[in-house]
Structure 1
Amino acid sequence: MPGQVGLTIDGALARVSLCHPGKFNAMSRAMWLELRAIFLALQAREDLRCVIVAGDAGHFCAGGDISEYPAFRFEEAALRDFHETDVWGGLGAMLACDLPVVAQIEGNCLGAGLEIASCCDIRVAGEGARFGAPIARLGFPMAPREAQLVAREAGAATAREVLLEAAVLGAQEMKARGFLHAVLPDAGVAADALVRAQRIVALAPRAARLNKQTLRALSTGVSIESVVDRAYHYADHAEHREGVEAFVARRRPAF
């Protein structure tokens, strides 16, 4: 069965599923294109408030589909197109999405999986999850944009360790290094991710989108002045008024 990226919607919550049976959900070229299309569509949905990204059958994503690599990796222009168009197209769409994204990480989270997890805002993992990018064993480096992403989210020291030593790290170690927000028994990961997503869904959706826009801008190194210049346009928005007025009236806000 070929791999696919699935999307299901339940009210204001979207679930994106990575599925590639028999390959621990390794990303094929087609799956990267599907990931991009799905996140572009999610970005355009005003009715959604949160996204959970998870893998099927007890694994997040074990990397790229290596069986496809001989068809394009040995020619520079084709290799560049794969990373800059296919892979970064998917990752870039995730990063540009204003909806909060929760990663539900189980089992293998390697290579492409580590990159996809790095695009998520909240990351929870099972005790048995494994993290790394052991591509040095395959004879190639991580593409520059992808390496920058992983180094930013997992830390430069961790990026060096997984890339130069092909180290594979456990969930508790990744939490200690600040990459994960929580580590749970494997059987409890899905429930925890759902609780966190539902908590986000209950909060002010416009505020969440604005927070993501601010954090994204700051992560790119733009001047704080440029962020401040457009930071207060929400002043007269109904959601802002509702939140403050509900607090003063001692009632639950209706967002």
Structure 2
Amino acid sequence: MAGQVLVHRDSAVLRVTLSHPGKFNAMSRAMWRELKSVFDAEAHREDLRCVVIAGEAGHFCSGGDISEYPTFRFDEAALRQFHEGEVWGGLQAVLDCPVPVLAHIEGNCMGAGVEIASCCDLRVAGQGARFGAPIARLGFPMAPREAQLVAREAGAAVARSMLLEAAVFDADQMLTHGFLNTVVPDTDVAPDVNRRAANIAQLAPQAARMNKSTLRLLASSGISEALLSSAYAFADSAEHREGISAFLAKRPPVF
């Protein structure tokens, strides 16, 4: 079985589950393509307010499916297509999601798992989670775009340790380094993620989308005139009026 990416729509929350039984949800080539297809098809729905990415059976993702590697990794053109087309295609689709994306992390979060988690806006992990990219033991480097992504989100020092020393970090260490938003007991990960997703789904969706767009631009190029020229176009929007009116009336807003 090549593994699969499962999708469950729960009202305004989309739940995406990495599933590769027996391989701790290692990403196969088919799964990378499915990840892109899922986000291309679902992430831009007007009624969507939040996405949760999780792994099946107590693990997030253990990396890539190494059993497939001999079929393509030793050919330069095929290897480039794998990383620049399939892997980056899936990661970019997650990065392009206009609504908040939460990572529900348990157990192994290695290699491809760290990369997928790096595409998420918020990351909740169980105390038993482990993080790394020990590909130096497999004789190859991390692809440039993927390394840039991990270094940006996990920090340069963490990325260097993962890639140059094959270091593995526990959840508390990754919290200290700023990669995680919170660490909870393993049994509390699902309830915590569900609570956060439900909370996000109740907040103003327009504001969430605009905040994501602003943060994305700030991370890539800083404040530009183009950003400033459109930053306040929401002034007369229904959501803006509702949020202020509800606060003044001391009632819950209805978005």
Are the counterparts in 2 of residues 16 and 53 from structure 1 also a CA contact under 8 Å? yes
- Structure 1 stretches of 4+ moved >2 Å: 222-226
CA displacement, residues 180-232 of structure 1 (integer Å, 9 cap, x when unaligned): 11111111111101111111011001110110011111111244333212211
Asked if residue 195 in structure 1 is aligned to residue 203 in structure 2, the reply is no
The 5 Å alignment of 1:120-139 reads: 120-139=120-139
Q: How far is the alpha carbon of 1:137 from its aligned partner?
A: 0.3
User: What TM-score do you get using the length of structure 2 for normalisation?
Assistant: 0.98
CA displacement, residues 53-87 of structure 1 (integer Å, 9 cap, x when unaligned): 00000000000000111111111111000000000
> Secondary structure at 2:169's aligned position in 1?
strand
Letter in 1 for 2:210: L
Letter in 1 for 2:54: A
Are the counterparts in 1 of residues 44 and 98 from structure 2 also a CA contact under 8 Å? no
Q: How far is the alpha carbon of 1:42 from its aligned partner?
A: 2.2
Asked if residue 219 in structure 1 is aligned to residue 219 in structure 2, the reply is yes
Letter in 1 for 2:244: V
Separation of aligned partners in 1, 2:225 and 2:169: 39
Q: How far is the alpha carbon of 1:43 from its aligned partner?
A: 2.5
Alignment-derived partner of residue 158 in structure 1: 158
Are the counterparts in 2 of residues 234 and 240 from structure 1 also a CA contact under 8 Å? yes
Q: How far is the alpha carbon of 1:151 from its aligned partner?
A: 0.3
Separation of aligned partners in 1, 2:158 and 2:178: 10
Separation of aligned partners in 1, 2:29 and 2:222: 32
Alignment-derived partner of residue 236 in structure 1: 236
> Secondary structure at 2:233's aligned position in 1?
coil
User: What TM-score do you get using the length of structure 1 for normalisation?
Assistant: 0.98
Q: How far is the alpha carbon of 1:40 from its aligned partner?
A: 1.2
Alignment-derived partner of residue 14 in structure 1: 14
Among all aligned residue pairs of Structure 1 and Structure 2, give the percentage whose two residues are the same amino acid: 67
Letter in 1 for 2:193: A
Separation of aligned partners in 1, 2:234 and 2:81: 39
> Secondary structure at 1:243's aligned position in 2?
helix
Separation of aligned partners in 1, 2:248 and 2:108: 47
Separation of aligned partners in 1, 2:71 and 2:236: 55
CA displacement, residues 82-106 of structure 1 (integer Å, 9 cap, x when unaligned): 0000000000000010110111000
Asked if residue 75 in structure 1 is aligned to residue 75 in structure 2, the reply is yes
Letter in 1 for 2:221: G
- Uncovered stretches (5+) of structure 1, i.e. residues with no partner: none
Are the counterparts in 1 of residues 2 and 30 from structure 2 also a CA contact under 8 Å? no
